[in-house]
Chains A and B, each alone.
Chain A
Amino acid sequence: MLSIRRSASAFVAVAIGVTLVAAATLLLASGRPQVPDRLARAAVVVQSPEGGASADEFLPTRPWSATATAGLVDRLAALPGVTAAVPDRTFYAQPLIDGRPSRADTGREDAHQGHGWSSAQLGGLRLTAGEPPRRPGEVVVDRALGLRTGTPVTLLTAAGPEPYTVTGLVDAPGVQVADEVAAALAPGVRAVGLVLAPGTDPERVAAAARGVVGPDGRVLTGDARGALEPRNDARTRWIGMQVLTATAALAGFVTIFVVASTFAFTIAQRRRELGLLRAVGATGRQVRRMVSVDALVVGASAGLVGLLVGAALAPVLGRLLVEVGFEPSTFRVRYTPWPIVLSLVAGPVIALLAVWSASRRAARVRPLEALREAAVEQRPIGRLRVATGALLVAAGVALSVGTATADEARVGAQYALYAVMALVAGATVLSPAVVGPVVRLLRSPIRRRGGAIGMLVRGGALTATRRTASTAAPVLLTVAFAVLVSGMVRTSTAAWAAGRADNVNAGWIVLPDRAPGLSDQAVAATNGTALLPTTVFRTDPATPPADRPLTALGVDPAGFAAANRALTVVAGSLDDLRGDDTVVVTAAANLRPSEPYAVVFADGELVSLRVVAVVTEDSLPGDLLVPRAVVRTHDPSALTSTVYVRDRIDPPLGARIVDVATWAAEADAAEDRLVWLFTLLLIGVSAGYGAIAVANTLLLAAAGRAADLRLIRMAGATRRQVIWLVTAESALVVLIGALLGGVVAFVGLLSIRAGLAAQVGAPVDLVVPWSVIVGVVGLCLLLAALASVLPTWRMLRHRPARSPVGVAG
């Protein structure tokens, strides 16, 4: 029973959906950690122990102290087959070009990292000119900087700018200094690379190394060394994974949605044929099976096409993702079996899910319908449909609330996507019930403007509510998605900014410029209240896991208390935060003042601190407060993230100054940019899809209405009137869809706003993205008009009475 013309639209929709799913899953499967170039020549690497579970998985591992490192290196170097055991030290050091950090450096983490020269052998690094650094004040830099050997260069370090002399050049990012300098700047070590004698089996050495290291580290070989990739790369990859998962899920959902409405539409058009089949003896089950087999054939063949296109597109998309920043620069597409199998299965599965509801309707077609006029439908909406729709809407609202109350913006964005999906599906399921009232609502303007055309448009939409609804469905989807997703992102960004600004009691903020943080010298020049964050590790016998990473902020207590409006002290006093062994914890730690609190600092040393005050959890943008000097002692390369100042000052080197409102708006700007790109990607997928679906269903509708239109022509309508009629009809459909989509989006946005306001603790303004609304609705209108007018125009070239009024059905 397959008809090429009827199946074409479902085929296209499934093919595009599978293309997206295939491309996204192939990219997902390709996203694996890469062994950093700097450690490529170390066949075996020992990594310091992973920090315990934490909300942010991209914190560094717990370092070994200087003494622990020395002992470990000695024992590892003594293993048979090991020619050298080299500790890999990484610290902040950024060469200044023309007195300020280079613009090119901002994007690359490794461009402002320094290492000891001995670790150059782990990556097989060779001098292209000059000598290795042997004394303090000597440095080897990247040839790309354009410096020559023997010339002076200023390195910006955590302490401030320092004069160095270039002794050699290499073909790699970052700077290399003498080992003693590296040991001073990075006392804690997180990896020891082993260089093996030629012909040695890395696995055998690794086994021996495991015996040496014990539980105090992980021994990695081969691809497992990917765990040593820069934590920022890991984070970027994680974001990329979220994007790809969401895109694949959305593509699957939108495909099911679009294909379902296409099937619903074809079933509505085939009522007569199905009635005939029922009359000559097909049982309901047979009709249902027939419709499902149609769908299966379409799904399987379209899936195959989609897989091929997706596989071809994956490398192109991969490059795009790297460019935009969703994947690290080391990302390469690999063709693994599971995405291919998944995509092959996806086509038929999508088609079957999509045809489920349509096939139920098909089975219910009564044999008498072969004899009736096809356009008159009965029972616009069933009870099961109402129940399903209500359930979906309820789930959508619940998810919207979840979105708003999620702790992390990233988690919230995920919820939001599913919330929109549920709301859109619910609204579509319920839409036939709404078409009648909406059409009646629009009655007066249409009647006044259109005369006979208005009457025809209204009559058609009202008698075939389901047809109207299934044509309006893709518009609904497109508008709801675009408005809700963009509105949500804009609203929550604005809300968080407002919340941040509210908590800060300062006029201006000093921030790093083209550098990862501010040096001590820059901080001193501002005379403000600085935050010096560092990661510490705590092993609390009462609460596993061990080595839990925490963010400790080095502060001056008086200044911090004055600048932070959110600070609420529960016990003790912030004034006691001084000396070299004090700490302020949050209520989450469940401790009282004067209790001991031991942590491992970035230098690997275990330090026993004393609790002097307890504050509420939302008082701090971190977990602990310690005196600034304590952080500096244990983490010589820690960088200041933020300085609060009362009045505007000239920003020091490597810094810029912004007012609080600007700071609040642009904090997390990088992440917000990614989120916004992500949003646009999702809107693009759904809007592109919706547009295809709108055109699809209207083309089908035009074909199905040929007989009707011929009749209207014969009744005396001019060509122009018929064109007007179909234009008005498609405009009405787009309007209905846009209206319903707008309602869905508005409900979602309101619940998100309520949740956000509760969380931020301040009233939140709803940001409505009008440009997106106008763009999406305009696109739908344009496509709808084209898709209905063009086939009608073609049909009208013939005289009205020439072709017989379709006996062929």
Chain B
Amino acid sequence: MFPGRHVHPGEGNKVPAWARRATPRETGTVVVMTTDTVSLTGLRAVYGTGTRRVTALDGVSTSFASGTFTAVMGPSGSGKSTLLHCAAGLDSPTEGVVTIDGTRLNDLGEDELTRLRRDRIGFVFQAFNLVSTLTAAQNVELPLRLAGRRPPARDVTAALDAVGLADRAGHRPSELSGGEQQRVAVARAVITRPAVVFADEPTGALDSAASRQVLRLLRALVDDHGQTVVMVTHDPAAAAYADRVLLLADGRVVDELDGGITAAVVAARIAERETLATTPAERSC
């Protein structure tokens, strides 16, 4: 789909420089703070009470700059999904502030949050991404329809074309492969031209070939359209497509990789964290 533009990071040691050229931080002369699309400050999320009390996030502060691709990684229960849900306004944190495009999510009511999600945020989930009774094209135009707009047919076709599925517009989810379904989900996520796209394990249910297609798509969104993408994953190969990797453990950001990201590097870092985590003394640091 993007011939010659990208080499799978898992196959080489380095991502070619041109592939990252468009990201603002590289070209950036502006102050980084002002281009942050999403910023999280002191996020804490606590669920349950008494002995069943779980602290999913324990004071996370970070930000996702405009036009970057960030991967959030961590073992099960590290709080990476909660981080994504809070950042996207799907869940509200116990403490802390979430700002998207300058809007404080804490101040919004349920309906305002819904409208914000509709207009400023795109989602790609691991599974159950599409409404089974609607065709691919109808699924793509759904957010705009919900906003009370009727998108021109050519916009929808263009969106499907961008993910290589223009010929599948009339098919229902049950007639599409898992990879095709995820690509339709990507098309839907960006049809509203959102400020940020959140992806929750978008390749979790896909084979490696389909995974590569979806990840290249997300990468291309960042490179070609300056889209901001935040992706939760546990797969180092998927994380290698990102500009930046956040590593979470026990609800805290424990490591961060900026540049030079390859699957091998990410895997090495994770392995390093795991050996550290086995030592109780280190863990308390």
Which A residues lie at the B interface, using CB under 8 A?
Answer: 1-3, 272-273, 276-286, 366-368, 370-371, 807-809
Contact = CB atoms under 8 A, between A and B. Distances in A.
Nearest to B111: A283
B157 to A, nearest CB: 20
Contacts of A281: 114-115, 117-119, 143, 146-147, 192
Contacts of B181: 807
Interface in B74-113: 81, 85, 90-91, 110-111
B214 interface: no
Contacts of A371: 81, 85, 125-126, 128, 200
Contact of B131 (A277, A366, A368): A277
A808 B125 contact: no
Contacts of B178: 807
B128 A272 contact: yes
Given A3-B133, A284-B111, A279 B117 contact: yes
B146 A276 contact: no
A285 B111 CA distance: 9
A280 B146 contact: yes
A368 B111 CA distance: 15
What are the 5 A-B residue pairs with the smallest beta carbon separation, nearest first? A281-B118, A808-B174, A808-B132, A283-B114, A281-B146
B127 interface: yes
Nearest to A807: B127
A368 B91 contact: yes
Max chain B CB contacts within 10 Å: which of A272, A273, A278, A808? Answer: A808
B133 A1 contact: yes
25 contacts: A1-B133, A1-B134, A272-B128, A273-B131, A276-B129, A277-B146, A279-B117, A280-B123, A280-B143, A280-B188, A281-B117, A281-B118, A282-B114, A282-B118, A283-B110, A284-B111, A284-B114, A366-B90, A367-B90, A367-B117, A371-B126, A807-B173, A807-B205, A808-B173, A809-B132
Contact of B128 (A276, A278, A283, A367): A276
Contacts of A273: 128, 131-132
Given A272-B128, A277-B131, A280-B123, 6 more contacts: A1-B131, A1-B134, A273-B132, A279-B90, A283-B115, A367-B117
Contacts of A3: 132-133
Max chain B CB contacts within 10 Å: which of A277, A279, A283, A370? Answer: A279
Contacts of A368: 85, 90-91
B142 interface: yes
A11 to B, nearest CB: 16
A367 B117 CA distance: 10
Contacts of A272: 128
Nearest to B123: A279
A133 B109 CA distance: 94
B56 to A, nearest CB: 13
Interface of B: 81, 85, 90-91, 110-111, 114-115, 117-119, 123, 125-134, 142-143, 146-147, 173-174, 178, 181, 188, 192, 200, 205
Given A367-B90, A368-B90, A807-B181, A278 B114 contact: yes
A704 to B, nearest CB: 13
Nearest to B84: A371
Nearest to B117: A281
B45 to A, nearest CB: 12
A367 B81 CA distance: 14
A661 to B, nearest CB: 66
A222 B188 CA distance: 71
A286 B119 CA distance: 15
Nearest to A804: B178
Contacts of B125: 276, 279, 370-371
B117 A276 contact: no
Contacts of A808: 132, 173-174
Contacts of A370: 125, 128
A280 B117 contact: yes
Given A273-B132, A368-B90, A807-B127, A280 B142 contact: yes
A486 B187 CA distance: 61
A679 B241 CA distance: 73
Nearest to A275: B128
A277 B132 CA distance: 12
A347 to B, nearest CB: 22
A366 B85 CA distance: 12
Contacts of B173: 807-809
Nearest to B201: A371
Contacts of A282: 114, 118, 146
Nearest to A364: B110
A600 B85 CA distance: 88
A281 B142 CA distance: 9
B9 to A, nearest CB: 27
A5 to B, nearest CB: 10
A176 to B, nearest CB: 74
Max chain A CB contacts within 10 Å: which of B114, B126, B142? Answer: B114
Nearest to A6: B133
Nearest to A278: B114
A285 B114 CA distance: 11
A7 B152 CA distance: 31
